[in-house]
Chains A and B, each alone.
Chain A
């Protein structure tokens, strides 16, 4: 298959998922906006007004980047895992598997859907946050880079979850029991420097800490971890997830008998 048909195949997948995301906006775009508005109101405004500044910033300003990142992570992951598992469950995945599109194009199609939804949700949550606080921009490049790498990583991870999932329960186990705790403990609501040494050292094993801090650095110019280390962790994990996804597709794991 030469380049033009591959691009058309990829475009078809992305267009289809974009249309789906927009068609069911009340399930894909609205919930994170409402959830984050509640977080901003309760934790940021009501409780946050009683909390001391962190790294020289008011509490609400400190938590906004982490909350945006939280919705980016959840949206990227859920989009990939749900579209892929639904396609597998209904066997519409066969439409793609019988086509001449190479595996990497199919993967790119699913992952792009995750990126699009994460991007849209990120922009919506940023817009919602402006009702509660003002946002400072330290580096747009770092904001974009951290958000992109994180969304990419979690799109791949969602896809891997979808590959192994054998029931709808299996696609909610990881978000509920792994993703949510790691996000909450990933420095969204606090600086790890405020933690006792043991928990601070433990937090450094949480990859989401690096994503939240890199993203926050883009807005506020402060981070609990070195920026180069944060981007190395994100880049390294994304590369591993990419290779793992390609390998699983190549093997036909969970797809081909």
Chain B
């Protein structure tokens, strides 16, 4: 039995290639392998190629070359069989806003070959799981942004796919709802669904995923477990609060350290490989700045991400 959920090998995508026109290279030979049961994040800035890759895997974008397999099935030679394993939550809302919530989900089940008799109880389950059951008879346009996002997840799950592709699923969702969705996705993953996530919220990837790949300008520039990436880059970012407002003159004296002003009394210190906290704080103290508090910066992965993207 295949243990690989998704595999892409040297996948390239050129948009707008037409005769003599060269086109734009969105993917420049991406290779990835994601095991069954993984919770995997694909990170990258806007235009990096994340959505193109998701589009290729789900059948919405035609690859220019390379091999893409879903559950061991080539998506080019057996698209129907491959697509049956996938549930897609795209970035943009793409349901009929005039349709009733439950009809959107039931119809999607039908497209996957589930009869209405099978689809109706499954729809009830996914709508209840995602807190939309009370809204089942409402038209989709009356839902809030967060509810619409959850409706897209419900629609993608109604045929119980083995692999769930989520393209920026929590974009525009408030913090409380986002955390609720994280719990839901975590539980889904624990039940065996392989989840591949693209996100701008790096904290999200750090909280949910065991492995991440960072994609930039159409190429995977780093991949591995979150822990491996953090260790490999050996990056520590600290927020330092000063007792008194920090003067610009003091910061000029600290040019050799990677320091950014956050506000009047707070600075962000990024320790490069080889630098120690003691040494940095001693140098900061020597300028007359009195440190009142030292704390970890929000997302460590964000630092890795920024570092890699800047290098690339």
Q: Which one, A6, A94, A101, contacts B60 given CB within 8 A? A: A94
A52 contacts chain B at the CB level, 8 A cutoff: no
B142 contacts chain A at the CB level, 8 A cutoff: no
Separation of A94 and B61 alpha carbons in the complex (Å):
11
Enumerate chain A residues within 8 angstroms of B269, measured Cβ to Cβ. none
Inter-subunit contact A8/B115 (CB<8 Å) = yes
B107 contacts chain A at the CB level, 8 A cutoff: yes
Enumerate chain A residues within 8 angstroms of B113, measured Cβ to Cβ. 1, 4-6, 8-9, 100
Enumerate chain A residues within 8 angstroms of B155, measured Cβ to Cβ. 95
A225 contacts chain B at the CB level, 8 A cutoff: no
B136 contacts chain A at the CB level, 8 A cutoff: no
A254 contacts chain B at the CB level, 8 A cutoff: no
B114 contacts chain A at the CB level, 8 A cutoff: yes
Inter-subunit contact A98/B60 (CB<8 Å) = yes
Q: Which residue of B lies closest to A101 (CB)?
A: B111
B29 contacts chain A at the CB level, 8 A cutoff: no
A50 contacts chain B at the CB level, 8 A cutoff: no
Separation of A107 and B113 alpha carbons in the complex (Å):
16
A27 contacts chain B at the CB level, 8 A cutoff: no
Inter-subunit contact A9/B92 (CB<8 Å) = no
B94 contacts chain A at the CB level, 8 A cutoff: yes
Inter-subunit contact B110/A98 (CB<8 Å) = no
Inter-subunit contact A9/B90 (CB<8 Å) = no
Q: Which one, B15, B86, B96, B112, contacts A92 given CB within 8 A? A: B96
B62 contacts chain A at the CB level, 8 A cutoff: yes
Separation of A101 and B110 alpha carbons in the complex (Å):
10
Inter-subunit contact A92/B111 (CB<8 Å) = no
Inter-subunit contact A9/B94 (CB<8 Å) = no
* CB of A16 to closest CB in B, whole Å: 6
Separation of A6 and B112 alpha carbons in the complex (Å):
8
Inter-subunit contact A9/B111 (CB<8 Å) = yes
A97 contacts chain B at the CB level, 8 A cutoff: yes
Separation of A12 and B120 alpha carbons in the complex (Å):
13
Separation of A257 and B60 alpha carbons in the complex (Å):
7
Inter-subunit contact B112/A100 (CB<8 Å) = yes
* CB of B115 to closest CB in A, whole Å: 6
Q: Which residue of B lies closest to A92 (CB)?
A: B96
Say yes or no: A92-B83 contact (C-beta < 8 A), given A9-B112, A9-B113, A98-B88.
no
Q: Which one, A6, A12, A97, contacts B107 given CB within 8 A? A: A12
* CB of B109 to closest CB in A, whole Å: 8
Separation of A135 and B108 alpha carbons in the complex (Å):
44
Separation of A183 and B3 alpha carbons in the complex (Å):
60
A166 contacts chain B at the CB level, 8 A cutoff: no
Inter-subunit contact A1/B84 (CB<8 Å) = yes
Inter-subunit contact A100/B84 (CB<8 Å) = yes
Name the interface residues of B66-117: CB closer than 8 Å to any CB of A. Answer: 79-81, 83-84, 86, 88, 90, 92, 94-97, 103, 107-108, 110-115
A252 contacts chain B at the CB level, 8 A cutoff: yes
Name the interface residues of B173-205: CB closer than 8 Å to any CB of A. Answer: none
* CB of A25 to closest CB in B, whole Å: 15
Q: Which one, A16, A91, A97, contacts B59 given CB within 8 A? A: A97
Chain A window 188-211, contacts with chain B (Cβ cutoff 8 Å), 1 for yes, 0 for no:
000000000000000000000000
A96 contacts chain B at the CB level, 8 A cutoff: yes
Q: Which residue of B lies closest to A93 (CB)?
A: B94
Inter-subunit contact B90/A96 (CB<8 Å) = no
B contacts, CB < 8 Å to A: 15, 55, 58-62, 79-81, 83-84, 86, 88, 90, 92, 94-97, 103, 107-108, 110-115, 155
6 A-B Cβ contacts within 8 A?
Answer: A9-B113, A90-B97, A91-B92, A95-B108, A98-B59, A257-B55
User: 4 closest pairs, A vs B, by CB?
Assistant: A5-B113, A12-B110, A99-B111, A91-B94
